[in-house]
Structure 1
């Protein structure tokens, strides 16, 4: 086995074997080589320690390599957190391919950054809109309120003794009061439309009845300014009934045609053509006014936008009528565009889906 055994016989004086001595022992490297005992001990220690040394070396190299993989993503995350802390969202995180979990973490953080930036952008835009609205209210209400105050002050100081002046001033006060109410109503309407819970109804609408009733209303409005108003209906392979919100669609038409009446000169003409084509209801409205500045067509349906060149607004309008119309049509799943006719004047086109109940 592992042992060395030596037997030494014992003899007496007559050379007879009286017994024996047996030696059993083990030998190791150190005792076998006493001259290099320290080398043997060192080799033995290294042999015993080598598994631990290999494990440490492996752990060190693996840990160093792994730390390099995760160092960059974690540094990016820390930098991103500091940027967000200082309201800086104009950066992006690069998704690593080294570690699946880190890749998922970076992707989730990047999605959070995008959503946060979008949310803050909306909040900042709302704040800017609020500032614009405040400025618009202050600007547009200042004139009628100043006129009302001035005329009232004159009447209080004795102007009411003159019947002619009294009637004229009361008419001016009344007109500017209506103008102020109109501005506030527009602001209230925008507040309703921009509410997240706003939605349009879906009711059956008989297109013939609807168009004829609205045409009678617009005819009366146009008569006051001696403007000719023409209305027509064309049905192409479709039903006369569609689904929508009659009050909101009526509001869209009111805003558009009121705009046309405002900018059409006396003895001009406004035409409203209704076409029912397959699954769509198309309203085309054009006037003989000055039309639009071509470079501004894309801005017409934005909030508070008012043209200065052709269809200028000096009539107490906040520039919200077309914005409200666009929002209502969009909620119906339709579209609205504005352009200039080749023969002159503005051309509005409203396309609404027939819809369903």
Structure 2
């Protein structure tokens, strides 16, 4: 109905957007226009009807109702008061029909206009349907009772078809209006829900933007084609550092990105964003960006974004500036190396003088003291050697084919005396002929450290066993003890430099926590892996694997990491 009435304004304005007075006037317009056409047509074609006072009064009342529609301030009255107009419309229609008699037929059908108005209003449905039934019948029957005292049933039924049809139209319009109103209500509810969703979405977007621009980590979100989706404040700053001189913006492939040494450019296919677009997931990928004093060290991590169907739709790359951390690590390594180097010289002198004093066969009471000094100097020298080894970066290895059983036998023989003093049995269970490709001296150093720790942390009566097994493409070696063991948290950190478990610190067992870090460095330089399995009170097992072809990605990654910390 709104669309039909909007046609009267040539669709220049929507009906529901107009003022109440305009809407009432437009709702009355179809009947008023039809009445005006009837008046003009009657003057030229049926002038005789104008002789009827009823016809004249019908025209006058129709005009009066149109004027009332225009002058009454409907928006100030209670909503729904305008329905009085279509109810009153039945009066002029009845007068026009009665006044025209048989000269102009079909005037009674004009009652469709007020019926449509009542039925389509959506207000007071039962009352409007009742008026849509009573109005047309009253329009026809009221003149009969007013002019003819002997009205028969036949007179009433002869003219009942028109109001019946009009009432059917009213019911149809009411049903359609009710359905449209239900649909409109549902649409309004959906629109309201959609507005709420949009508001929440906008709020979350504002929260996301505020969050990503607050964190001090560069965030880059890219789609599956490599186009930027999100670029936070910190990432823009990082991006500017990598721009070549005189360039305002550039793609990742043109940025000044270098390997951890700060000199070697990173190929385009190894750069973080390119790897992320290719679907790679990585963490702590160390790179350098920029040149000169402005060069920064970044730790890049990437995660793939998946859509609802589990398909890749992009990736998020995070760039964390770790320049200060790397500088601090460099300063620490330099300090440790310097102090260790300075300590080695006086220790060498002390050892030399001890040997000279022992060669002169001093008194027995002095020999005992010199022995104590010698043992502590040896222990101190071992610690200094560990510090220098840790500070010097990854050890160099020279792999050859070697029998792991012989290497293990040498290490077990070297620790056997110490194990006997501590009441710990050291067993070599490595089968003879277990050939592996390795640096015998370095792997011997690994076994020395592992066996030394195993004996140190095992109680009297305990057992330490070294065993190995040849596997396709590698050799797996284990060093197992029945000592105090470690918690899962300590096991995860045991290969970190200077790390010592709380139980070891409480037991005041000597050491600085460098042995296992050195062990891991040696194993990784061979291209192998090492891990720890331990349980409190039940012992610890260290397992390392040596591939038949030393070197590889793990060794390269370890070397790159050390290059950064130098």
Shorter-chain TM-score tier: 0.5 to 0.7
Report the counterpart of residue 272 of structure 1 in structure 2. 466
Q: Offset of 1:253 from its aligned partner?
A: 0.6
The 8 Å contact of residues 202 and 245 in structure 1, kept in 2 or not, is answered as: yes
Matched, 1:93 2:239: yes
Q: Which moved more, 1:176-185 or 1:225-234?
A: 225-234
Q: Deviations over 1:31-61 (max 9, x none)?
A: xxxxxxxxxxxxxxxxxxxxxxxxxxxxxxx
Higher relative contact order (CA 8 A, sep 6+): 1
Report the counterpart of residue 524 of structure 2 in structure 1. 330
Matched, 1:184 2:378: no
Task: Extract structure 1 runs of 4+ deviating beyond 6 A.
Answer: 134-137
Could you say what the CA RMSD is over the residues aligned between the two structures, in angstroms?
Answer: 3.9
Q: Deviations over 1:162-199 (max 9, x none)?
A: 964x455333322221222111111122233x06xx43
Between the two proteins, the alignment pairs up a number of residues equal to 239
User: Of the candidates 188, 194, 203, which is equivalent to residue 400 of structure 2?
Assistant: 203
How high is the TM-score relative to the length of structure 1?
0.56
After superposition, residues 212-227 of structure 1 pair within 5 angstroms as 212-227=409-424
Matched, 1:129 2:332: yes
Q: Deviations over 1:232-266 (max 9, x none)?
A: 2369xxx8422111100000110111011111122
Residues 130/199 of structure 1: CA separation in 2 closer, same or farther (3 Å cut):
closer
Q: Offset of 1:320 from its aligned partner?
A: 0.7
How high is the TM-score relative to the length of structure 2?
0.37
Residues 341/279 of structure 1: CA separation in 2 closer, same or farther (3 Å cut):
farther
SS in 2 for 1:260: helix
Q: Offset of 1:291 from its aligned partner?
A: 0.9
Question: Which runs of 5 or more residues in structure 1 are unaligned?
Answer: 1-87, 95-100, 149-160
Matched, 1:118 2:297: yes
Greater fraction helix = 2
Residues 285/208 of structure 1: CA separation in 2 closer, same or farther (3 Å cut):
closer
The 8 Å contact of residues 498 and 512 in structure 2, kept in 1 or not, is answered as: yes
SS in 1 for 2:502: coil
Structure showing greater Rg = 2
- Rounded to whole Å, the distance in 1 between the matches of 2:450 and 2:412 is 13
Residues 215/90 of structure 1: CA separation in 2 closer, same or farther (3 Å cut):
farther
After superposition, residues 19-34 of structure 1 pair within 5 angstroms as none
Matched, 1:104 2:250: yes
- Rounded to whole Å, the distance in 2 between the matches of 1:320 and 1:132 is 15
The 8 Å contact of residues 526 and 550 in structure 2, kept in 1 or not, is answered as: no
Question: Which runs of 5 or more residues in structure 2 are unaligned?
Answer: 1-233, 241-246, 259-286, 290-294, 299-322, 351-361, 552-566
Residues 299/313 of structure 1: CA separation in 2 closer, same or farther (3 Å cut):
farther
After superposition, residues 1-357 of structure 1 pair within 5 angstroms as 91-93=237-239, 103-104=249-250, 108-109=254-255, 111=257, 114-115=288-289, 116-118=295-297, 120-121=323-324, 123-127=326-330, 129-130=332-333, 133=336, 164=365, 166-192=366-392, 194=393, 198-233=395-430, 240-310=434-504, 314-341=508-535, 344-355=538-549
The 8 Å contact of residues 89 and 117 in structure 1, kept in 2 or not, is answered as: no
Q: Deviations over 1:318-346 (max 9, x none)?
A: 21100100100010011111121587011
